Amino acid sequence: MTIDGASIRDVLIGVGVLLAGIGIIVVCAALARLFGRLNRTLDEVDREVAALSVPVVATLSHIGGIADTADSTVARLGAVVGSLEEVAGSLGSTAKLATDAVAPALVNFGVVLAGITAGLRRFVSGKPVPPGEDVGNG
């Protein structure tokens, strides 16, 4: 067996490939440790999120119930306001009708009182009613 340049080159290439393989193994081992720590960290985050999700879901459900109650209350208030508006409109119409019904009666009552007062005044004073004069204008 002779040692020539080709044999040295083959040995050096083999050692280089061996060193490259060892380097790749070291890098892969470091990545395995890194991914192991990352996996444990993600597991811890999953546990924290799972523990936190129960109160968050309960709170959101409670808020949803409050919002539903508020919506139904606003709807009821809208119906009540509509009813009150109808009642107010009816009261306004009733007041108008009452005014229209009572006003002529009050005017007629006033004319009757004026006529009676004028008649009593003439009766007490003893003056006769001149012809063509209205008793109510006295």
The 10s digit of each residue's pLDDT in 94-120 is 888 888 877 777 777 778 888 888 888
Look up the pTM and report it.
Answer: 0.39
Which run of H or of E encompasses 138?
none
* Over residues 62-88, mean pLDDT: 87
Cβ neighbours around 118 below 10 Å, total: 17
Q: Is residue 136 part of a domain?
A: no
Q: Is residue 13 part of a domain?
A: yes
Number of domains observed in the structure of the chain: 1
Q: Is residue 19 part of a domain?
A: yes
Rounded to whole angstroms, the maximal C-alpha distance in the chain is 175
CA–CA gap between residue 107 and residue 100 (Å, rounded)? 11
DSSP conformational letter for 135: G
pLDDT at 6 exceeding the cut of 60: yes
CA–CA gap between residue 34 and residue 130 (Å, rounded)? 129
Q: Is 29 strand, coil or helix?
A: helix
Q: Is residue 58 part of a domain?
A: yes
Q: Is residue 49 part of a domain?
A: yes
When comparing pLDDT for 123 and 94, which is higher?
A: 94
- One-letter-per-residue 3-state SS of 112-132: HHHHHHHHHHHHHHCCCCCCC
CA–CA gap between residue 66 and residue 62 (Å, rounded)? 6
Q: How far apart are the first and last CA of the chain?
A: 163
Lowest mean pLDDT among 8-12, 74-78, 105-109: 105-109
In this predicted structure, what is the pLDDT of residue 17? 95
When comparing pLDDT for 134 and 10, which is higher?
A: 10
Domain containing 118 equals: 5-125
Of all residues in the chain, the percent with pLDDT exceeding 70 is: 91
* Over residues 42-58, mean pLDDT: 88
| 11-46 tens-digit pLDDT | 999 999 999 999 999 999 999 999 999 999 999 999
